[in-house]
Amino acid sequence: MTTAKAHTNIALIKYWGKKDQQLIIPQTDSLSLTLNEFYTTTQVVFDPTLTTDQVSINHHRLTPAAAQRTSAFLDLVRQRAGRTEFARVNSINHVPTAAGLASSASAFAALAGAASAAAGMQLNRRELSRLARRGSGSATRSIYGGLVEWHRGHDDHSSYAEPVMEKLDFGLEMLAIMINTKKKKITSRQGMQASVATSPYYASWRQVVANDMQAIKAAIQQRDIPTIGHIAEENALRMHALTLSADPGYSYFNSQTLTAMRAVRALRKRGIKCYYTMDAGPNVKVIYDHRDRERVIAGLSQYFDRSQLIVSAAGPGIQIWDEKTKKVLL
Ligand code: 2P0
C-alpha cells in the first residue's frame, strides 16, 4: 500500500483550453502557486481479490459510475505497469468543506503518485507530472511546490510542468475568500471547451498568455510582488472574458465575487498592494506580500466574515511513501 500527498495549486497565468482532449494537451502554457493549506492524501493498493476498483473519498465509497474517472486513470497506470489487478483507493481531501476549492489538481497528482508507486513503477517527477496530466490538466503542476510552470508541449512526451521557484525566498502569499454557491457549476472541462470552440477572442488569449508568461517569470526573478499581482489579475480577467464571450456566454462570478474584486481594488487605492484571481467558481483568491497580511485581512473583513478568509503560504511538491515501512519513495 502506497500513500501520496499532493497540494493543490492556483494558477496565476491560467490554463483555459485544450488542444487534445484525450491526452490533455493544453492550448497555452500556464503558471501556478502550490498552496500549503489545501492538499489531498491518497492511498492505493492493487488487490488480486477485487472484482472492481473500490474508490472512497473522505471515507465515502463512490458508486462505480462516480468512480469512472478514477478507474479510467487507474487503467492507464495498469496498462503502463503491465498489471491487471483492481485497486482499493482511499482519498482524503484536506480542504475546508464547501470551499469550492476541492480541486482535481491535488486529487489527480496524489492518485498519480500513489497508484504508479503501488503498481511498482518508479517515476521521476517529470514522468509523474505527465501522468497526472492525464487525470486533470491542473494536476500536472501539483507535482511541484512553489511557483510552477506547465509547458504546453505538443504531445504526451513534451507536455509537463517544472518548477520556476520551488522554495520561495520572498513573501508571496495567497488568501482565499470562501464564497459559497448552491448553483450547479459548469465544470472547467465544459467551460474551456466552449471557450475554445466559440469565443472570438480565443486567438488573442493565446497571445496574451505568451506575453504574460514571459513578463511574470521576469517579475518572479525580481521578486516583484506588485508586478506579479498585476499580471495575474489582468490574466484572470482576460480568462474570464473567454467565458462571457462564448456562445452561449456564461460566467463563474456571482455578486459576492464582484464584491471581493471591488474590495481588493479599494484596498489598493489605500496603498495596500493586493491583487485578485478567480478560477472556475465564485471564490476569489488574493495575492500580496506576507508583511501586508494583517492589513489585507482587516480590509477584507469589512466585507466578509473572518471565517471566510483562509491564508496560505506556498506549499511543497508531492511526497510518496510506503504505508507499511514508512519508507519515503519520493
Ligand atoms: C487553471 N482552472 O489553470 C485553470 C484556470 C481554473 C481556471 O480548473 O479538464 O480541472 O481536468 O484538464 O485542470 C483547470 O481545469 O481541467 C482549472 P481538466 P482542470 O488552474
H-assigned helices in the chain:
68-81, 104-118, 125-133, 188-198, 202-221, 225-244, 255-269, 293-300
Angle at 172 between CA 171 and CA 175, to 5 degrees: 120
Tell me how far apart the alpha carbons of residues 164 and 144 are, in angstroms, rounded to a whole number.
Answer: 10
Cα 75 to middle of ligand 1, angstroms: 22
Residue type for 68, please? Answer: Q
Q: What residues does 242 pair with on adjacent strands?
A: none
* Residue 181 pLDDT: 67
The string of DSSP letters for 198-242 reads H-TTHHHHHHHHHHHHHHHHHHHHTT-HHHHHHHHHHHHHHHHHH
Q: Whose CA is nearest to atom 9 of ligand 1?
A: 189
Are 223 and 229 spatial neighbours (Cβ–Cβ below 8 Å)? no
Write out the CATH class of domain 172-312.
alpha beta
Q: Whose CA is nearest to atom 5 of ligand 1?
A: 14
Instruction: Classify residue 274 as left (phi > 0), alpha (psi -120 to 50) or beta.
Output: beta
Among 7, 32, 35, 136, residue to substitute to test ligand 1 (most atoms within 8 Å of Cβ): 136
* Residue 96 pLDDT: 66
Cα 279 to middle of ligand 1, angstroms: 8
The CB density around residue 189, as the number of other CB atoms within 10 Å, is 15
Q: Taking the chain (330 residues) in consecutive chunks of 10 residues, what is each chunk's mean pLDDT?
A: 96 98 98 96 98 96 94 98 97 73 88 98 97 98 98 98 98 94 81 98 98 98 98 98 98 96 98 96 96 98 95 97 92
- Matching residue, cell 479599494: 266
Q: Which fold has domain 2-167?
A: Ribosomal Protein S5; domain 2 (3.30.230)
Per domain, the residue ranges of the chain are 2-167, 172-312
Among 106, 279, 284, residue to substitute to test ligand 1 (most atoms within 8 Å of Cβ): 279
Cα 304 to middle of ligand 1, angstroms: 26
Cα 3 to middle of ligand 1, angstroms: 24
The CB density around residue 75, as the number of other CB atoms within 10 Å, is 11
* Residue 11 pLDDT: 97
Q: What share of the chain is helix, strand, coil (3-state, %, to 5)?
A: 40, 25, 35
Among 9, 15, 24, 149, residue to substitute to test ligand 1 (most atoms within 8 Å of Cβ): 15
CA distances (Å), 312 to each of 18, 81, 303, in order?
29, 36, 20
